[in-house]
Amino acid sequence: MLPKKIEKILNEQIQKEGYSSNLYLAMASWADTEGYAGISQWLFAQAQEELEHMMKFVHFINERGGHAIIPAFEQPPVKFDGIKKLFNQVLEHEQYITSCINDIVALAIKENDFATHNWIQWFVTEQIEEESSVQTIIDKLNLLGDKNLYLFDRDIMSLRGAGK
């Protein structure tokens, strides 16, 4: 049985993962219209991955006897202030998501919910990877300065392709 407090925090995470997906989708669409084919491809793949994260929460809550609630999502921004700022925004967002995952870990321990504690470890590992992959991109962008975004746009395709 899923403790009520755990059901609540997991439902809140559905909203956060779903918003992450929409945020990256908005970024992808913007980058696409700006002519950044590689960057938009990376972001579209990221949006898809976040959708999968959301689905994992939906299924887990229901499997444990709770009720996954599909929420309304706030509209993400429409325009972004350049590629560098966009990736910094992605990193900040992922750091926020990591802190939310950590809150779930802490609550699972507090509530003696070892099943959730065990299950959420996948996300703990995933967040390390997500932050690291975005940091790699930011490091590359810093090395390039404001030039060569065309080459970077091609380079990013080899970092991820159409997803992991």
> What is the contact surface with ligand FEO in residues (CB under 6 A)?
17, 20, 50, 53, 94, 97, 130
User: Closest-CB residue for ligand FEO?
Assistant: 53
Paired tokens of 48? 């898809």
Q: d(Cα 106, Cα 102) in Å, to the nearest integer? A: 6
Which residue is it, tokens 């309304």? 72
Residue placing its CB nearer to ligand FEO in the complex, 6 or 97? 97
Minimum separation from the CB atom of position 130 to ligand FEO (A): 5
Give whichever of 53 and 117 is closer to ligand FEO, judged by the CB atom. 53
CB 49 to ligand FEO: min, Å:
7
Q: Which is nearer to ligand FEO, 20 or 116 (CB)?
A: 20
Tally of CB atoms within 10 A around 11: 18
- Per-residue H/E/C for 104-159: HHHHHHHCCCHHHHHHHHHHHHHHHHHHHHHHHHHHHHHHHCCCCHHHHHHHHHHH
The least distance separating ligand FEO from the CB of residue 54, rounded to whole angstroms, comes to 8
Q: Whose Cβ is closer to ligand FEO: residue 151's or residue 159's?
A: 159
